[in-house]
């Protein structure tokens, strides 16, 4: 029924009615929320969301752990679904195609960063994140993410997904996949590289799988041994539950850790000229800092931060994942289990990626 009215709204150039689950403040639990999205522009597509992954960033945002969030907030930037309507200039998708949406829905398209398809770093400050953001292209209205039944997005920010792809497993690739694929490529991981992944959750699992596929020897750092079997079964060389007494040295370490820790512990484990790529972003109050003294005296090692990846690279990552059948380990949940999933992601009892089956949003 709702889909039918969405199609009429799209045809008539009206705002698109939507429903999802939202929090109203940082200590809130998720509740049903109805809202509307901007009308279907000439370059936009309307996607019926079928699956949405739960990223730890959703939790940081919903709880205002990085900055004060925009509420009501509908998180979700690991979106996979079906195109149900297209604007008149759309040539990348047709109705019925599968499509994915990640962390961004628009940017200026004109600056150096956008021209290089590094839209996440739009130099005109016009990158529009999928939720918890003001959409400067639509009267600064707040954006709402994927814990919902639909999304309207510029075709340039939607990723093409083949119609035989397993959509539930594709959804987390749109953030967890690209965020780990991008630094592995940036650091030039290849056959024989020695890589470590710190933090073995949704992102860490993808980093392990990609690095193995690229021919690296990979070890994992976790905060306990609970997932040792999973890591070793997938081909990891070792799983360490702390950084003490580790004799291995690594060309690249990717840190996906979302809690307080000391990055220097990992810098010390880099080989000469090694690189630490940081993607995990702990809460601001955790005050994670790098000691310059330690950094300088551990010289010739590079530490860099990495933010998702551009749209072109996201498409490349998706094609690479499908070609090599590299998917996340997912547990499908219904939309009323989001609070429970957040709790597990916080207390260490989560496995890898929770994915919401949007059929459960009635």
Query: Does 175 help bind ligand NDP (rule: CB under 6 A)?
Result: yes
Using a 10 angstrom Cβ sphere, with 0-12 exposed, 13-18 middle and 19 or more buried, the burial of residue 93 is middle
Report the distance separating Cα 325 and Cα 302, nearest Å: 31
Task: Specify the stretch interacting with ligand NDP by CB under 6 A; choose among 41-49, 195-203, 285-293, 311-319.
Answer: 195-203
Q: Residues in contact with ligand NDP, total (CB under 6 A)?
A: 30
Query: Does 20 help bind ligand NDP (rule: CB under 6 A)?
Result: no
Task: Specify the stretch interacting with ligand NDP by CB under 6 A; choose among 19-27, 88-96, 128-136, 199-207.
Answer: 199-207
**Quick one: DSSP state of residue 21?**
E
Distance in angstroms between the alpha carbons of the first and the last residue of the chain = 11
Query: Of these, 6, 57, 143, 155, which contacts Zn ion (CB under 5 A)?
Result: 57
Q: Are 45 and 174 within 8 A, CB to CB?
A: no
The interface partner of residue 146, options being ligand NDP, Zn ion, none and the CB cut-off 5 to 8 Å by kind, is none
Query: Does 148 help bind ligand NDP (rule: CB under 6 A)?
Result: no
Measured from the CB atom, the residue of 250 and 342 that comes closer to Zn ion is 342
Measured from the CB atom, the residue of 20 and 201 that comes closer to ligand NDP is 201
Q: Are 94 and 86 within 8 A, CB to CB?
A: yes
Report the distance separating Cα 150 and Cα 225, nearest Å: 39
Query: Of these, 76, 81, 146, 258, which contacts ligand NDP (CB under 6 A)?
Result: 258
Distances (CA, A) of 71 to 22, 63, 142: 8, 11, 9
Query: Of these, 256, 314, 315, 337, which contacts ligand NDP (CB under 6 A)?
Result: 256
Report the distance separating Cα 36 and Cα 15, nearest Å: 6
Query: Of these, 221, 240, 250, 327, which contacts ligand NDP (CB under 6 A)?
Result: 221
Query: Of these, 201, 263, 310, 328, which contacts ligand NDP (CB under 6 A)?
Result: 201
Query: Of these, 56, 63, 169, 209, which contacts ligand NDP (CB under 6 A)?
Result: 56
Measured from the CB atom, the residue of 301 and 353 that comes closer to Zn ion is 353
Q: Are 66 and 179 within 8 A, CB to CB?
A: no
Q: Are 325 and 176 within 8 A, CB to CB?
A: no
69: three-class secondary structure by DSSP: coil
Query: Does 198 help bind ligand NDP (rule: CB under 6 A)?
Result: yes
Q: How many CB atoms lie within 10 A of CB 89?
A: 10
Query: Does 269 help bind Zn ion (rule: CB under 5 A)?
Result: no
Task: Specify the stretch interacting with ligand NDP by CB under 6 A; choose among 38-46, 193-201, 296-304, 333-341.
Answer: 193-201
Query: Does 55 help bind ligand NDP (rule: CB under 6 A)?
Result: yes
Using a 10 angstrom Cβ sphere, with 0-12 exposed, 13-18 middle and 19 or more buried, the burial of residue 332 is middle
Smallest distance, Zn ion to C-beta of residue 55, A: 3
115: three-class secondary structure by DSSP: helix
Report the distance separating Cα 289 and Cα 205, nearest Å: 25
Distances (CA, A) of 259 to 183, 200, 228, 280, 284: 20, 12, 20, 8, 10
Reported residue count of the chain is 362
Site for ligand NDP in 58-117 (CB under 6 A): 60
Query: Does 280 help bind ligand NDP (rule: CB under 6 A)?
Result: yes
Task: Specify the stretch interacting with ligand NDP by CB under 6 A; choose among 124-132, 136-144, 201-209, 310-318.
Answer: 201-209
Query: Does 175 help bind Zn ion (rule: CB under 5 A)?
Result: yes
Binding positions for Zn ion, rule: CB under 5 A: 55, 57, 175
Binding positions for ligand NDP, rule: CB under 6 A: 55-57, 60, 175, 179, 198-204, 221-224, 256-259, 261, 279-281, 306-308, 345, 348
């Amino acid at each position: 029924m709702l889909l039918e009215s969405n199609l009429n709204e799209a045809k008539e150039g009206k705002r698109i009615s939507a429903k999802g689950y939202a929090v109203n403040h940082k200590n809130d639990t998720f509740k049903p929320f109805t809202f509307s999205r901007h009308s279907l522009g000439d370059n936009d597509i309307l996607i019926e969301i079928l699956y949405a992954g739960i990223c730890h960033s959703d939790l940081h945002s919903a709880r205002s752990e990085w900055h004060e969030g925009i509420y009501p907030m509908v998180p979700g930037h690991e979106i996979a679904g079906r195109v149900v309507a297209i604007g008149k200039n759309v040539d990348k998708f047709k109705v019925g195609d599968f499509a994915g949406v990640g962390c961004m829905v628009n940017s200026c398209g004109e600056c150096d960063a956008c021209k290089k398809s590094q839209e996440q770093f739009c130099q005109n400050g016009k990158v529009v994140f999928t939720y918890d953001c003001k959409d400067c292209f639509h009267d600064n209205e707040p954006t709402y993410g994927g814990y919902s039944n639909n999304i309207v997005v510029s075709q340039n920010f939607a990723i093409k997904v083949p119609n035989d792809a397993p959509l539930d497993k594709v959804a987390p690739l749109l953030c967890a996949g690209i965020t780990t694929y991008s630094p592995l490529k940036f650091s030039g991981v290849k056959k024989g590289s020695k890589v470590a992944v710190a933090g073995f959750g949704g992102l860490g699992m993808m980093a392990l799988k990609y690095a193995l596929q690229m021919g690296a020897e990979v070890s994992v750092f976790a905060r306990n041994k609970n997932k040792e079997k999973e890591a070793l079964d997938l081909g990891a060389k070792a799983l360490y539950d702390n950084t003490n007494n580790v004799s291995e040295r690594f060309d690249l370490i990717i840190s996906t850790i979302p809690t307080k820790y000391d990055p220097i512990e990992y810098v010390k484990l880099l080989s000469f000229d090694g690189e630490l790529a940081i993607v995990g972003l702990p809460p601001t109050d955790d005050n994670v800092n790098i000691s310059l003294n330690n950094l300088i005296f551990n010289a010739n090692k590079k530490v860099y931060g990495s933010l998702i990846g551009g749209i072109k690279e996201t498409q490349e990552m998706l094609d690479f994942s499908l070609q090599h059948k590299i998917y996340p380990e997912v547990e499908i949940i219904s939309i009323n289990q989001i609070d429970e999933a957040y709790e597990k992601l916080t207390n260490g009892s989560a496995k890898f990626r929770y994915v919401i089956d949007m059929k459960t949003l009635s």
